[in-house]
């Protein structure tokens, strides 16, 4: 049994994979896993396509797009497990907060065209943002500009006034709010309660050549997911995720972002 390479981004809902690796849970189930923290979803998709990753914590729409050949080379993928639900938020620049409170998003857009960012064109974030805009009386294809940025670049882009807002997963909305650069206009659970968010996507050739390893990964992540959902473990989990090799953010902020009652995954 060889080493299985799994990719992930700096997001709270990568917690089950990070916890399983840190606690040597994969090894206890007899499988060797190497984590690769990537800067963007495009990197994840490209490395899966070219076999540089065997699997990844992935956006379901992006997994489907890769499998269908809608972005890059067509890649046979298997999605055996959902890893998280909810956890995203639409965050707008602080300078828009008063207008948003008075007029809502439609009132703001009636006065000026906004530039809003999502994490990928094939993402739940793009679907959720567009649905929310339409439900609010805004035509996303004509009344706003939707651009793509990696999650970890959202807050710095907001600070530089390069964008007016974004839809991204935890903890980036909370980071913007804590820095007083933005405010959370709507949580994704308010748009679509319990929507699927991240999944485990595996290359089909891995499943064929190492079915036992795949089963071991699924068992491990199921156990890790239960641990990540325990409220009394949230502080320790936040401390783990805060480490420089993972999210590299304050543990206190991550702990808030992990709370499902506050919009976390």
CA torsion 20-60-208-72 (nearest 10°) is -120
201: closest CA among 70, 41, 23, 18?
41
Note the pLDDT of residue 261: 84
Q: How far is CA 255 from CA 44, 61, 230, in A?
A: 26, 27, 12
122: closest CA among 70, 182, 184?
70
Total domain count for the chain? 2
- pLDDT tens-digit profile of 67-92? 999 998 999 999 999 999 999 999 99
Domain end residue (candidates: 147, 173, 191): 191
Residues 179 and 222 in one domain: no
Note the pLDDT of residue 53: 99
State the CATH number of the domain containing residue 157: 3.40.190.10
Residues 187 and 202 in one domain: no
Note the pLDDT of residue 1: 63
Domain end residue (candidates: 151, 175, 191): 191
Residues 72 and 96 in one domain: no
Q: Give the percent of the chain with pLDDT over 90.
A: 97
Residues 204 and 224 in one domain: yes
Residues 93 and 80 in one domain: no
Q: Is the pLDDT of residue 234 over 70?
A: yes
């Amino acid at each position: 049994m060889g080493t299985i390479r799994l990719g992930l981004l700096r997001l709270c809902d990568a917690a089950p994979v990070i916890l399983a690796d840190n606690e040597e849970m994969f090894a206890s189930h007899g499988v060797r896993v190497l984590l690769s923290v990537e800067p963007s979803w495009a990197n994840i998709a490209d490395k899966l396509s070219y076999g540089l990753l065997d699997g990844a914590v992935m956006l379901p729409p992006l997994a489907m797009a890769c499998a269908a050949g809608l972005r890059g080379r067509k890649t046979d993928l298997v999605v055996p497990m959902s890893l998280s639900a909810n956890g995203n938020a639409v965050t707008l620049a602080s300078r828009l907060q008063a207008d948003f409170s008075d007029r809502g998003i439609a009132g703001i857009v009636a006065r000026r065209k906004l530039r809003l960012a999502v994490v990928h064109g094939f993402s739940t974030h793009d679907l959720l943002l567009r649905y929310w805009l339409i439900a609010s009386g805004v035509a996303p294809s004509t009344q706003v500009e939707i651009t793509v940025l990696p999650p970890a670049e959202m807050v710095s882009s907001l600070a530089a006034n390069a964008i007016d807002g974004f839809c991204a997963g935890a903890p980036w909305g909370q980071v913007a709010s804590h820095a007083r650069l933005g405010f959370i206009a709507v949580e994704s659970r308010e748009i679509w309660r319990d929507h699927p968010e991240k999944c485990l996507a595996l290359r089909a050739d891995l499943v064929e050549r190492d079915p036992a390893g795949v089963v071991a990964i699924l068992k491990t992540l199921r156990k890790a997911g239960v641990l990540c959902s325990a409220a009394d473990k949230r502080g320790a989990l936040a401390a783990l995720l805060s480490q420089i090799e993972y999210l590299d953010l304050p543990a206190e902020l991550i702990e808030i972002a992990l709370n499902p009652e506050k919009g976390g995954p």
